[in-house]
Structures are given as C-alpha cells and as structure tokens.
C-alpha cells in the first residue's frame, strides 16, 4: 500500500486535478459563467420550456468547465432557479431540471470523478474523458427531449416568455452571445489541441487554467478576492481528493493481500454459477443502493478497489465500466430518500420548495438516466467509439 501511494505521487497526469479545479473556480468566482445563462435566457426564452432547455445547455457547459456536479448545482440554484420560478415555470419541473443537469458534471469532461476512477483503475484519463462525451451529450439530449414533450403536452409547466421580454435588439442579443460563448472558447482552446494530439493531457489542463485566468483578467473580474477564493478552494478540494485516492489504494492493497477479488469471483462464477452480465448488474444495483447515503468519492474508496479488478477478471472493458459507474453515481445522487443531490438542492432552494417537491421532481429524470445507462450497457460503442477513434489516429 505504501509503495502504491509513493508511486501515485509521481504519476504525472495527477497534475490535471488541480488545474481543472482551478479553471472551474476561476470561471465560477469571476461570474464569467453567469453570462452563459443570460445568453440562453435571451435566445431560448421564446419557446415553451425554452428556459428549462437553456438551463440544461448551461449545465453541460458548466460541466465542461468544472468537472464537479456541485458547481453546476450552485450556479443553477442561484442563477437559473429564481428566474424560472419568477416566469411561472412549475417548481417541480425546474428543480428536477437543475438536479439532473448538474449531475452531468461528473460525466462530461473534464470530470474529476473520472480522474479518480482512472487513478484507482490505472486507466488513461484521456480515454475516460473521451468515453464520457457521447453518453453525456446523449443524456443531455434525452433530458431536453423530455422537457419538450412535457411542455408541449402541458404548456403551463414551462410557458414561453411574453412578447415584451422577447423584444430585445439584435445588437444586445449578439453581445450576450459573444460573452456567453467565452467559456466555450476556453474549453475549445483547451481540448482541441489534446484531441488532435498536439498537447498532452497535463499541458491541455494547464492551457485551460491559464485561459480562464486570462479571460477573468481581460474582463476586469480577477480581483484579489476572486483569486484567493479560487486558490483556496482548489487546494482544499485537491488535498481532499488526494486523501481519498490514498485511502482507496490502501483498501486495494488489503483486498489484494487477502485474495478477496479472486474469492468473490469464484463465489459468483463457480459456486453460484452466475453469468458475468448478472454479476455486473448486481454491482450496478449495489452502487445505487450505496449512493442513496454515500457520495461518489466514498463509493470509490469502499468498493472500487474490489469491483474494478473483478470487472477486469470477468472480461469487461474498464474504460466502458468507468462510464457505467459514473452514470450509476448520477442516478444514486438523485434516488430518494437520501440522495446527495436532493439535500443539496433543499439547502440552496427558496423556502417555497419543500423536500417533498424535490422528491417528486426527480422521478422522470431518474427514469431518463436509467434509459441512458441501459443504452450504454447494451451498446458499449457509445462510450468506446470516440476514444478508440482518437487514439487510433
């Protein structure tokens, strides 16, 4: 265990962790991310459910800048939620939208959870991030399709903005479009060189962090307070994740020493005679059960050192399994009665939204996520095609 911990400290891709966390906090603390919501508000508000659809788009872009679901939840609850309620959107609809959208933060790259999984499973971070792109966008599209259908059948759930609010000069719309696209440009500047093989993953993460810093400086928003908060939060979260990884490696060393993985494999396959797919489904169900009272990092520490070698021994692809694990975490986050996101939403929501409203809001979105999970299980190429394509070229 000690040797594994020392080896981890020398693992070069580990530098991506503080870089991406810093980038996300700079964009969040400097309020650059706020411009995204204004852009979606102006351009999408004229259709039924448009602001809810725009909120999902906002969450995808926030996820692409931060890698943590908490950041999307905080921005959605403080910026989008009051605006949606003020414009007559159904409170159950909007709380479900924000919770579901923010959960994409751990699937869409640069996902911090996938970095942690990569370290424990000893898989390439870049391949895991690329594997999360298509499932993440597919899930966002499924959320949007659900919103469109619900608001088409019941317009009261998400009314369009009235004519007075839609009457905005084109010059103002274009200004908001430019400012709202800035975070997207930062993401492109960071990821395009990596996907084309011009930079390594660590170099791309450094480009992203520096681009976010320069954007905040050029817009006059890099105050001393913003810088100090960004650095303090980055250091705190990075140190927390390091201890989590070390704990997981320690668990893994104990499991290896006791021969636990081989014993469990023999129990399931030889004694019980279970099919590998049945074992995989049982693992997913156990994640959902644990996720109702644990967060994703705690689950990684407790079961990933045991499950990951077992998945490999059963002949499944560990990159693909990383995406399955992450989607299952998303579902577990929002599964009553103790889902992590449910109570986070209650803490951030206004008083008129009760915990019962939050419980009722999440059912349809959890079903959509189960649909996405089944699709990725049945069609592994949804996760594996993009990393295979990029790395083969």
Q: Which residues contact 278 (CB under 8 A, 6 or more apart)?
A: none
What distance in Å separates the CA atoms of residue 65 and residue 17, rounded to the nearest whole number?
13
- Which residue in 34, 10, 71, 5 sits closest to 234, CA to CA? 71
Considering only residues 13 and 146, tell me which one the structure prediction assigns the higher pLDDT: 146
pLDDT in tens, 303-352: 777 788 888 888 899 999 999 988 988 888 788 776 767 777 777 777 88
The model carries a pTM of 0.80
Examine the pLDDT at 118 and tell me if it is beyond 80.
yes
Tell me, rounded to whole angstroms, the distance of Cα 13 from its chain centroid: 19
Examine the pLDDT at 104 and tell me if it is beyond 60.
yes
Q: Would you state the pLDDT for residue 178?
A: 76
Residue 3 CB coordination number (10 Å): 9
Residue whose pair of structure tokens reads 């694990």 in the numeric block: 325
DSSP annotation of 79 reads I
* Dihedral sign computed on CA atoms, order 216, 219, 221, 224: positive
Examine the pLDDT at 76 and tell me if it is beyond 70.
yes
Q: Would you state the pLDDT for residue 381?
A: 94
Average pLDDT over residues 242-246: 71
What distance in Å separates the CA atoms of residue 37 and residue 98, rounded to the nearest whole number?
13
What does the block give as tokens for 27? 């964009």
What does the block give as tokens for 341? 């996101």
- Which residue in 284, 331, 285, 353 sits closest to 103, CA to CA? 331
pLDDT band at 389 (very low <50, low <70, confident <90, very high): confident
Lowest mean pLDDT among 73-87, 291-305, 377-391: 291-305
pLDDT in tens, 127-155: 998 999 999 999 999 999 999 898 888 88
Average pLDDT over residues 47-56: 81
pLDDT band at 265 (very low <50, low <70, confident <90, very high): low
Examine the pLDDT at 355 and tell me if it is beyond 70.
yes
104-129 exposure pattern, b = at least 16 Cβ within 10 A, e = fewer: bbbbbbbbbbbbbbbbbbebbbbbbb
What distance in Å separates the CA atoms of residue 130 and residue 313, rounded to the nearest whole number?
24
């Amino acid at each position: 265990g000690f040797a594994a911990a020392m080896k981890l400290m020398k693992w070069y891709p580990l530098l991506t962790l503080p870089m991406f966390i810093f980038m996300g906090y700079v964009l969040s603390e400097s309020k650059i991310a706020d411009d995204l919501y204004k852009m979606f508000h102006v351009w999408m508000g004229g259709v039924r459910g448009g602001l809810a659809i725009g909120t999902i788009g906002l969450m995808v872009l926030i996820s692409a800048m931060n890698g943590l679901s908490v950041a999307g939840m905080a921005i959605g609850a403080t910026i989008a939620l009051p605006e949606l309620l003020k414009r007559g959107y159904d409170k159950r609809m909007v709380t479900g939208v924000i919770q579901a959208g923010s959960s994409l933060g751990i699937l869409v790259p640069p996902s911090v959870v996938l970095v942690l999984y990569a370290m424990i499973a000893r898989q390439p971070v870049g391949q895991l991030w690329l594997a999360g792109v298509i499932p993440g966008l597919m899930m966002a599209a499924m959320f949007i399709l659900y919103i469109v259908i619900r608001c088409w059948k019941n317009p009261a759930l998400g009314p369009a903005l009235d004519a007075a609010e839609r009457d905005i000069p084109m010059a103002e719309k274009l200004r908001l479009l430019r400012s709202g696209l800035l975070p997207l440009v930062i993401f492109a500047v960071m990821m395009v060189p990596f996907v084309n093989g011009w930079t390594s993953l660590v170099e791309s993460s450094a480009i992203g962090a520096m681009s976010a810093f320069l954007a905040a400086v050029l817009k006059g928003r890099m105050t001393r307070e913003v810088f100090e908060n960004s650095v303090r939060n980055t250091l705190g979260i990075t140190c927390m994740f390091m201890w989590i990884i070390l704990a997981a490696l320690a668990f893994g060393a104990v499991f290896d020493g006791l021969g636990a993985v081989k014993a469990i494999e023999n129990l399931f396959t030889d004694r019980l005679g279970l099919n590998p797919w049945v074992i995989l489904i049982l693992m997913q169900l156990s994640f959902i059960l644990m996720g109702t009272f644990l967060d994703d990092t705690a689950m990684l520490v407790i079961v990933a050192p045991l499950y990951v070698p077992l998945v490999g021994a059963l002949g499944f692809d560990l990159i693909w399994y990383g995406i399955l694990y992450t989607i299952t975490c998303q579902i577990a986050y929002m599964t009553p009665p103790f889902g992590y996101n449910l109570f986070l939403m209650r803490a951030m929501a206004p008083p008129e939204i009760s915990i019962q409203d939050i419980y009722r809001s999440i059912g349809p979105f959890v079903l959509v996520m189960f649909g996405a999970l089944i699709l990725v299980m049945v069609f592994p190429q949804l996760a594996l095609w993009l990393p295979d394509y990029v790395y083969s070229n």
